[in-house]
Amino acid sequence: MKLLIPLAEGFEDIEALAVIDILRRAGIQIDIVGVPGTVITSKSGVRVMVDKKLSEMKAEDYDGIVLPGGKAVEILGRTSSLLDTIKKLDARKKLIAAICIAPSILAKTGILDSRKATIYPGFEKELPRPRGDKIVVDENIITSQGPGTAIEFALKIIEILKGQQKAGQIRREIIA
């Protein structure tokens, strides 16, 4: 099980770092990919050394993608190779997860045209079929509303990829 998590300047710390931590606790391999650099600075100034650059990865090497929010969404949403990767993963019915305003990237690719999703409150107009729930799962797509939902979002990803028992184990370990 191998997921891709792209980071760009201004990513939301909690949505990226908490999710990476929780998924790795569940034994899910994560490649943190820089768009475009190798050292990416978060919204609050945390600098992260990524595993590789976006130009070095191939969609077929991954079982899914997780998109954190924050100002980084502007960069990610205009990175054509990332948009192509999302479409390729969706065509293979691989996991696609997005939190905060990152679901707007999924809408831009057209993969949400017939699916329900949620987004950071106030950005509902960015989605074709918005829902007000904190987390929405529709087929292979998981969306979540924001930093405060990051732990539940990560646990939902684990539940879908590794089962309810594994998600419950991690929930107990992190006292969630």
Contacts of 118 by beta carbon, 8 Å cutoff, 6+ apart: 103, 127, 130, 131, 132, 133, 134, 135, 136, 143, 144, 145
Encoded amino acid at 141, one letter: I
CA–CA gap between residue 1 and residue 102 (Å, rounded)? 22
Encoded amino acid at 130, one letter: P
**DSSP string for 39-65:** EEE-TTS-EEE-SEEGGG--GGG-SEE
Residue 100 bears catalytic tag: yes
Of 20, 66, 100, 101, the catalytic one is 100
Instruction: Return the number of other C-beta atoms located less than 10 Å from residue 121's C-beta.
Output: 10
Kindly tell me the number of DSSP H helices and DSSP E strands found in the chain. 7, 9
Provide the annotated active-site residues: 100
